[in-house]
């Protein structure tokens, strides 16, 4: 499925309380499975649960926990870095990177998780195509963030007290830990050793959503 094909399907769910679109069992799962909102959204638009690199044929589907007015409450997961750590540390050209592939075309769906799960709801989504002229400024910043973040872990590894990578920040992108027990340390062939005690991942910082919403009609939302 192409990303554009999902847009009319997503519009049907904007502002609709989850109690009107989910089963009682699915509503119960919302409190215990943090990732189930994204899974249910994928199911709603007809995406299959496969291990392909992208959600759509030409882009990604992301959710973001937010306040009732759309302001972000959390960062947005992009992709884990354990399999590409050496490419990042070697400053692989951004245009060839997994970060570029995963961020260049996206549907970002804010989700309000306030009150009972039956009252949770999706807000108007943001269609982001970083190849388009109107996104040139933010696309260039993400590219700059990538190279900055590639250098920061090298400094942690080569000069830090424990020789491990730690949280690295750009303006809109960050790398930080994302793991659960048992932890999955990252091995670097460049250094011939483990360079972390946990897995790490790329995330969009809250500043990214604030930037997009400041330039999107209808945000911030008024109480309904």
CATH number at residue 153: 3.40.600.10
Domain extent for 16: 3-214
pLDDT per position as a tens digit, 31-81: 777 677 777 788 777 776 665 789 899 999 999 999 999 999 999 999 999
* Residue 22 to residues 28, 30, 94, 201, Cα–Cα distance (Å): 10, 10, 40, 30
Residue 50 inside a domain? The answer is: yes
Q: How far apart are the first and last CA of the chain?
A: 33
Residue 192 inside a domain? The answer is: yes
Residue 128 inside a domain? The answer is: yes
pLDDT per position as a tens digit, 140-159: 999 999 999 999 999 999 99
Residue 223 inside a domain? The answer is: no
With pLDDT > 70 as the criterion, what percentage of the chain qualifies? 97
At 64 the pLDDT is 95
Residue of 193 and 223 predicted with greater confidence: 193
For the purposes of burial, counting CB atoms within 10 Å of the CB of 97, is it exposed (0-12), middle (13-18) or buried (19 or more)? buried
pLDDT at 117 exceeding the cut of 60: yes
Q: Where are the alpha helices (DSSP H) in the chain?
A: 3-11, 24-29, 36-45, 85-89, 98-103, 136-159, 206-214
pLDDT at 190 exceeding the cut of 70: yes
pLDDT at 181 exceeding the cut of 90: yes
At 219 the pLDDT is 84
At 32 the pLDDT is 79
Measure the CA–CA gap between 146 and 108, rounded to whole angstroms: 20
Residue 184 inside a domain? The answer is: yes
Judged by phi (left if over 0) then psi (alpha if -120 to 50, else beta), residue 157 lies in: alpha
Give the number of domains in the chain: 1
Torsion angles phi and psi, residue 136, rounded to 5: -60, -40
pLDDT at 217 exceeding the cut of 70: yes
Residue 222 inside a domain? The answer is: no
At 41 the pLDDT is 80
Residue 146 inside a domain? The answer is: yes
């Amino acid at each position: 499925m192409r990303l554009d094909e999902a847009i009319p399907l997503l519009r049907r769910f904007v502002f609709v309380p989850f109690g009107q679109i989910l089963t009682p069992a699915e509503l119960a799962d919302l409190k215990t499975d943090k990732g189930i909102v994204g899974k249910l959204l994928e199911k709603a638009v007809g995406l299959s649960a496969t291990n392909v690199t992208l959600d759509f044929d030409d882009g990604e589907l992301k959710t973001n926990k937010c306040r009732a007015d759309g302001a972000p409450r959390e960062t947005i997961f992009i992709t884990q870095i354990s399999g590409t750590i050496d490419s990042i540390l070697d400053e692989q050209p951004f245009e060839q990177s997994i970060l570029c592939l995963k961020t260049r075309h996206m549907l970002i769906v804010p989700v309000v998780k306030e009150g009972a799960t039956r009252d949770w709801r999706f807000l108007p989504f943001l269609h982001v195509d970083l190849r388009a002229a109107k996104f040139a400024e933010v696309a260039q910043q993400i590219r700059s963030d990538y190279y900055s973040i590639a250098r920061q872990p090298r400094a942690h590894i080569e000069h830090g007290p424990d020789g491990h990578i730690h949280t690295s920040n750009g303006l809109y992108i960050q790398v930080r830990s994302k793991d659960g027990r048992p932890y999955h340390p990252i091995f670097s062939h460049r250094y011939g050793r483990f360079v972390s005690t946990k897995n790490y991942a790329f995330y969009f910082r809250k500043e990214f959503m604030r930037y997009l919403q400041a330039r999107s009609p209808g945000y911030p939302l008024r109480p309904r």
